[in-house]
Amino acid sequence: MTDFIQKIPEGDTRERSVCNTCGHIDYENPKIVAGAVVSHDGKILLCRRAIEPRAGFWTLPAGFLESHEQPEEGARREVREEALADITLEGLIGIYTVKRLSQVQMFFRAHFNGKPSFGAGDETLEAKLFAWEDIPWNEIAFPSVTWTLQTWHAGTDAITNLTRFSVVV
């Protein structure tokens, strides 16, 4: 087993894990999450989580990008996996930085391809369209879901309202 030590590599400014044998630097980078607010006739698609963290709570369909995957591809894939829905992305709603988790979260505005068709994927207990006034706010899984829904509802996005572009928590 290779031994890693903590040191500042030559030409760097941060302490990193470096292999004491070969000099390989083990960079730890943020995880990127992509998801979508899928709407139809003013209603929003939410998924009740079947997995931890926050199993049983409602969220937007979203998840971690795979290697070599563009955020737009990841958002469409996550909606297919979690809500069994095919969608078209319309634009970027916002980018949220969750510093304590080392995550960057990107959410897109979207609509169903054709007639709304959705269901519960493997990581979802149920999927449902909610009118704004019926969203179970006290059962929302993550703060970034609330921020994204509020931005969606205000009709703004990252392009038109740069003050909401990135929230750091």
40 vs 163: CA distance, rounded Å: 27
CA 118 vs CA 37, 46, 110, 121: distances in Å:
14, 10, 14, 9
Domain that holds residue 67: 31-168
**Residue 18 within a domain:** no
The pTM for the full model equals 0.86
Q: CATH number of the domain at 61, please.
A: 3.90.79.10
**Residue 87 within a domain:** yes
**Residue 20 within a domain:** no
134 vs 128: CA distance, rounded Å: 11
Instruction: Say how many domains are in the chain.
Output: 1
- Residues of the chain above pLDDT 70, percent: 91
Per-residue model confidence as pLDDT tens digits over 47-66: 999 999 999 999 999 999 99
Per-residue model confidence as pLDDT tens digits over 139-151: 999 999 999 999 9
On average, the pLDDT of the chain sits at: 92
Do β-strands 43-49 and 58-59 pair in parallel, antiparallel, or remain unpaired?
Answer: antiparallel
Answer yes or no: is pLDDT of 161 > 80. Answer: no
**Residue 2 within a domain:** no
**Residue 113 within a domain:** yes
**Residue 26 within a domain:** no
Per-residue model confidence as pLDDT tens digits over 71-83: 999 999 999 999 9
**Residue 58 within a domain:** yes
**Tokens encoding 76:** 């469409």
**Residue 122 within a domain:** yes
Q: What is the predicted pLDDT for the residue at 142?
A: 96
